[in-house]
């Protein structure tokens, strides 16, 4: 069997119609094509059913002693377990859910801003989404200083360029796992090795990597990671690991 035949066989074996049938938006789109799917995924029927079931049958306050409240608490616990498995976390207790990744970047930055002291330098990149740049730059008022880890002409961040930027003054290295604009992937395990050797922490924006690759916080050895559910077939929300 030649390569052309193999490709045709693989295309035939992949259940395109069955996958498309899982997404109501695709059934109602008509001639419209969702070519902006990198910005956000459509929601499958199973997720719509789960959200609808919650709003119809379990739209109650958490932390109560009555049945429906207990059910909601268990649903959140189950969701944390699912995300922990997805990213290879050490424990579901390390997972927080919130509005989006940007709000979590802001939350962590506020904490970092309170602990700068002699470690007042933050490394940021020119390849990141603005949410993982401007949020950290806002810490200038708290006394933070910034080192720019810049892309080379090949559109990649090279870890050799990071080494001279990290010192005993470095508090944090904040970078993406993959560029939202051009898709370049960063060797984040090497980033963590360099940062930790200097006593610094690593914050990873995994929003645009999450739908396309396996996240492994243990292998990457990062300290914080944010991701957005709406890139991964869920409503607009985000989660933080740390």
- What is the fold, at CATH topology level, of the domain defined by 96-241? 3.40.640
Round to whole Å and give the CA distance between 74 and 70.
Answer: 6
Is 209:215 a contact under the CB 8 Å cutoff? yes
List Cα–Cα distances, 38 to 43, 72, 108, 131, 151, in angstroms.
Answer: 13, 31, 26, 17, 22
Round to whole Å and give the CA distance between 202 and 224.
Answer: 6
Round to whole Å and give the CA distance between 9 and 13.
Answer: 6
In the predicted model, what is the mean pLDDT of the chain?
93
Round to whole Å and give the CA distance between 26 and 133.
Answer: 35
Is 146:113 a contact under the CB 8 Å cutoff? no
For tokens 């020119």, name the residue: 126
pLDDT tens for each residue of 32-75? 888 888 888 999 999 999 999 999 999 999 999 999 999 999 99
Least confident interval from 6-20, 44-58, 99-113, 160-174: 6-20
pLDDT tens for each residue of 161-172? 999 999 999 999
Is 200:149 a contact under the CB 8 Å cutoff? no
Please give the pLDDT value at position 199.
97
Please give the pLDDT value at position 35.
86
Please give the pLDDT value at position 36.
83
Kindly give the pairing relationship between strand 224-228 and strand 238-241.
antiparallel
Round to whole Å and give the CA distance between 73 and 63.
Answer: 7
Please give the pLDDT value at position 40.
87
Is residue 3 pLDDT above 90, yes or no?
Answer: no
Is 177:206 a contact under the CB 8 Å cutoff? yes
Please give the pLDDT value at position 6.
54
How big is the CA angle at 59 (ends 227 and 65), to the nearest 5 degrees? 100
Give 54-122 as a 3 state SS string.
Answer: HHHHCCCCCCCCCHHHHHHHHHHHHHHHHHHHHHCCCCHHHEEEECCHHHHHHHHHHHHHCCCCCCCEE
Please give the pLDDT value at position 75.
94
What is the total residue count of the chain? 242
For residue 230 the two structure tokens come to 């709406």
pLDDT tens for each residue of 180-238? 989 999 999 999 999 999 999 999 999 999 989 999 999 999 999 999 988 889 988 99
pTM given for the model: 0.89
Percentage of the chain surpassing pLDDT 90?
83
Please give the pLDDT value at position 188.
98
Please give the pLDDT value at position 112.
95
Please give the pLDDT value at position 207.
95
Round to whole Å and give the CA distance between 111 and 172.
Answer: 12
Closest CA to 173 of 211, 238, 127: 127
Round to whole Å and give the CA distance between 9 and 124.
Answer: 45
């Amino acid at each position: 069997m030649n390569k052309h035949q193999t490709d045709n066989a693989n295309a035939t074996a992949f259940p395109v119609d069955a996958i498309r049938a899982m997404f109501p938006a695709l059934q109602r789109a008509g001639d419209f094509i969702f070519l902006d799917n990198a910005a956000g995924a459509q929601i499958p029927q199973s997720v719509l059913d789960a959200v609808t079931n919650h709003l119809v049958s379990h739209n109650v306050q958490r932390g109560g002693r009555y049945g429906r409240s207990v059910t909601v608490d268990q649903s959140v616990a189950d969701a944390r377990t699912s995300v922990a498995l997805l990213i290879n976390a050490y424990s579901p207790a390390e997972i927080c859910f919130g509005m989006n990744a940007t709000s979590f970047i802001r939350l962590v930055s506020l904490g970092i801003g309170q602990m700068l002291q002699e470690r007042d330098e933050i490394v940021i990149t020119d390849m990141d989404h603005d949410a993982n740049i401007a949020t950290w730059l806002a810490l200038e008022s708290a006394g933070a200083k910034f080192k720019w880890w810049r892309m080379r002409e090949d559109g990649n961040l090279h870890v050799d360029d990071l080494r001279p930027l990290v010192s005993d003054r470095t508090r944090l290295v904040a970078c993406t796992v993959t560029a939202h604009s051009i898709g370049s992937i960063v060797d984040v395990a090497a980033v963590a090795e360099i940062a930790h050797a200097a006593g610094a922490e690593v914050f990873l924006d995994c929003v645009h990597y999450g739908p396309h690759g396996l996240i492994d916080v243990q292998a990457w050895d990062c300290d914080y990671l944010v991701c957005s559910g709406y890139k991964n077939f869920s409503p607009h929300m985000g989660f933080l690991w740390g």
